[in-house]
Amino acid sequence: MNNKSEDPNLWNDAAEAQKLMRERQQLDDGISSVRAFEQQIRDAVDLIELGEEEGDAEIVKEAEEALRGLRAEAARRQVEAMLSGEADGNDTYLEVHSGAGGTESQDWANILLRMYTRWAERQGYKVELMEVHDGEEAGIKSATLLVKGHNAYGWLKTESGVHRLVRISPFDSNARRHTSFSSIWVYPVVDDSIQVDINESDCRIDTYRSSGAGGQHVNTTDSAVRITHMPSGIVVQCQQERSQHKNKAKAWDMLRARLYESELKKREEAANAEAASKTEIGWGHQIRSYVLQPYQLVKDLRTGVESTAPSDVLDGELNEFMEAALAHRVNGGADAVVDDLS
């Protein structure tokens, strides 16, 4: 690839050149990362030997801590190596929809939106809010994020499903415990190398005024766009831009992505495991529970992975859950996953 990148005729085909350079950079980053990882292991081992020779227990302890951190990182990379699906390396859309529970679930949807935004930012991904429909009193009815970065879809794809929250309601004057549901739907961005044909006569296009925080953030024209694909029932919407033309173009991209993801699911053995995201947003369909009262616990119902620090999870600490779900998806068993990660 280095040789090809130096070919003066490479940029005669700009699209092919960009594809080559992107793949080359990903491989280069991967190789550099592994070499740096190996060097860190050697450094830690050398420090232990030095500490033992000089009788410095503090240095030995420090190096052992570093090795434990590297061990956890190795487990994460082992899981990341499973991201070899057709679209795993792509950017991704992530939709949040409030479910049963009215204002409660709309507030919960807003918390989930923040959680995934925080997670993506911690991974170094770029996040764009494509559209949001605010709730009447608080929270949101729905929102769509565009998460940009290598393997964004691969990491997030197992998050599709219904998420359940149990807490003392901040909207209940009697301070009673409430259960709320919201769903997450993840689908990959379709790049130029993937052809998705859509018959425009099968689609209905609606325009409406963007919602927002008020003042200058709200458009005074019907610039937001909603496209409904009649045969599949898929609905996408975009209000990110002030231009209706730009919103329409992005909405078409989102529709292509949804149709492509739908086709991927037909060919993936894991389709049944993710079917919850297309079912009723309520009891019996959740993939993960977040309990804040009467005790503190987040539990993934597919893998059995738990956390007793829900505030950290809601602040974007999701890697442990994602790693276990990915391994479970590949290995087909939660017990092996928990053993491996421990």
Same domain as 109, residue 56: no
What's the confidence (pLDDT) of residue 211?
A: 63
Sign, CA dihedral 119-121-127-133, equals: positive
* Residues whose CB is less than 8 angstroms from the CB of residue 212 and which lie 6 or more positions away in sequence, other chains included: 132, 134, 218, 219
Measured between its terminal Cα atoms, the distance across the chain in Å is 38
What CATH number is associated with residue 115? 3.30.70.1660
Same domain as 131, residue 36: no
- Residue type at position 241: E
Question: Which run of H or E residues covers position 188?
Answer: strand 177-188
**87 in a domain, yes or no?**
no
Same domain as 116, residue 241: yes
Same domain as 203, residue 328: yes
Q: Is 302 helix (H, G, I), strand (E, B) or coil?
A: coil
* Tens of pLDDT, residue by residue, the chain (342 residues): 888 888 888 888 888 888 888 888 878 888 888 899 999 999 999 999 999 999 999 999 999 999 998 988 887 778 777 787 778 888 999 999 998 778 889 999 999 999 999 999 999 999 999 989 888 888 999 999 999 998 899 999 999 999 999 998 887 777 788 899 999 999 888 866 667 878 888 899 988 877 654 444 445 567 888 999 998 888 898 887 888 888 888 888 888 888 888 777 776 644 444 444 444 555 556 899 999 988 999 999 999 999 999 999 999 999 999 988 988 876 654 343 334 333
Same domain as 100, residue 74: no
**98 in a domain, yes or no?**
yes
Tell me the C-alpha distance between 135 and 50, whole Å. 61
**220 in a domain, yes or no?**
yes
Same domain as 280, residue 164: yes
Same domain as 256, residue 309: yes
Of 53, 80, 107, the one marking the end of a domain is 80
Query: Which residues sit opposite 300 in a β-bridge?
Result: 288
Main-chain phi, psi angles of 172, to 5 degrees: -110, 115
**194 in a domain, yes or no?**
yes
Matching residue, tokens 């231009």: 243
Same domain as 143, residue 49: no
Structural domain count, the chain: 2
Q: Is the bond into 294 cis (omega within 30 degrees of 0)?
A: yes
Distance (Å) of CA 135 to CA 131, 177, 218, 315: 13, 21, 15, 22
Of 38, 56, 80, the one marking the end of a domain is 80
Same domain as 55, residue 191: no
Q: Is 125 helix (H, G, I), strand (E, B) or coil?
A: coil
Question: Which structural domain, as residue segments, surrounds residue 225?
Answer: 92-341
Exposed/middle/buried for residue 81 (C-beta within 10 Å: 0-12, 13-18, 19+): exposed
Of 35, 54, 80, the one marking the end of a domain is 80
Same domain as 46, residue 150: no
Q: Is 13 helix (H, G, I), strand (E, B) or coil?
A: coil
Q: pTM value? A: 0.69
**119 in a domain, yes or no?**
yes
Same domain as 249, residue 194: yes
What's the confidence (pLDDT) of residue 169?
A: 84
Same domain as 280, residue 214: yes
**85 in a domain, yes or no?**
no
Matching residue, tokens 């909207």: 171
**86 in a domain, yes or no?**
no
**237 in a domain, yes or no?**
yes
